Amino acid sequence: MRDWKRLTGTVADVDVEWDVPASRLNTFRVGGTVRCVAHPRTEGSLKNLLKALKAEGLPWSILGNGSNVLLPDGVWDHMVVLLDRCSGRLEWPQRDGRSGTVRVGAGMKLAQLLRMCVRHGWSGLEFLAGIPATVGGAVIMNAGTRTGSVEDVLERVRFLDETLDERTATRSELSMGYRSGGIPGGAVVLEAEFRVVAEHPRLIAQKIAGLMRERHRSQPWRWPSAGCVFKNPPGRSAGALIDQAGFKGYRVGDAEVSLLHANWIVNRGRATRDDVLCVIRTVRDGVRDRFGVDLELEVRVLE
């Protein structure tokens, strides 16, 4: 067992939780126990903490809302770092007539960002409605739906690179693509700036409500999940391939391929990580055997 208490005692302005149920940290509501969860209070303390972890070669992961990850079962002797207390601010720095930009900390949840957009009368980010992520996770994954994606509205992003030096990149400097924000590997997003336009708050709220109704009709919100499990192959729908291969309703333990949307695996109660991984392997093998298509995971499996 690693000496996390000694390490965290050397870094100021970091709140620490011990032996945290992993189910609290991901929307799948699976996993065992995370040994250490750290909440840096400032960007400075975040950087100092990551430097200390790097110097000692200790394992760590940044998590947002845990909406696109699968955490281990058992005791995970690992540090999970959350940005909710050091990177959750929001600013409206620029405005030119009806258009402007909003600058948002990486730790802010998208639902909170949208509530602020309604309050201030800024439109353009409604496509994020219903995505249970933080801003940082949304940028890294280039989150989106059929109505839009982060790359359509991103102006610039500020992040710590793998050497923990602070950098800023504009949208044109990032090679963004399907479910990829083009952020360098090992980087930690601190803040993102998005383009918005002025609109009446009531109209923005109506757009968001309409998108949420559509998502609830087509997606299995009743049960915990990580959203779409597989990326769509070029020109194909992963959900359609899984459905046509006959896997809707396929279940291992409490992990089940949703009857409503075949690209969602839902936790019907007490699913384990192994249950979910077993379903993933079976579905991938079945789709490969039937259609010759290798489905690529969208969910990150953390070790």
176 and 68 together in one domain:
no
| CATH number where 52 lies | 3.30.43.10
Question: What is the pLDDT at residue 1?
Answer: 66
- Active-site annotation holder among 43, 151, 191, 298: 298
25 and 77 together in one domain: yes
**CB of 208 closer than 8 Å to CB of 215:** no
The residue out of 18, 47, 82 marking a domain boundary is 82
The answer on 116 and 75 residing in a single domain is no
Q: What is the pLDDT of residue 91?
A: 86
- Of 35, 103, 179, 300, which one is the catalytic site residue? 179
| Calpha distance 79→288 (Å, rounded) | 36
Task: Indicate if 89 belongs to the active site.
Answer: no
Active site residue 202: no
Print pLDDT tens along the chain (303 aa): 688 889 899 999 999 999 999 999 999 999 999 999 999 999 999 999 999 999 999 999 999 999 999 999 999 999 999 999 999 888 876 666 788 899 999 999 999 999 999 999 999 999 999 999 999 999 999 999 889 999 999 999 999 999 999 999 999 999 999 999 999 988 999 999 999 999 999 999 999 999 999 999 999 999 999 999 999 999 999 999 999 999 999 999 999 999 999 999 999 999 999 999 999 999 999 999 999 999 999 999 999
| Catalytic residue list contains 228 | yes
247 shares a domain with 202: no
HSE (side-chain half, CA atoms, 13 Å) at 10: 13
Domain final residue, candidates 47, 82, 117: 82
Nearest to 141 by CA among 212, 240, 64, 40: 64
Q: What is the pTM of this model?
A: 0.94
Q: Which of 36, 228, 256, 273 is catalytic?
A: 228
* CATH code: domain of residue 277: 3.90.78.10
Whole domain around residue 138: which residue ranges? 90-217
Whole-number pLDDT of residue 280: 98
Domain closes at, from 217, 249, 283: 217
CATH of the domain at 174: 3.30.465.10
How many distinct structural domains can be found in the chain? Answer: 3
Does 157 lie in the same domain as 97?
A: yes
DSSP string, 252-293: ETTEEE-SS-TTEEEE-SS--HHHHHHHHHHHHHHHHHHH--
Tell me, yes or no, whether 123 and 202 share the same domain.
yes
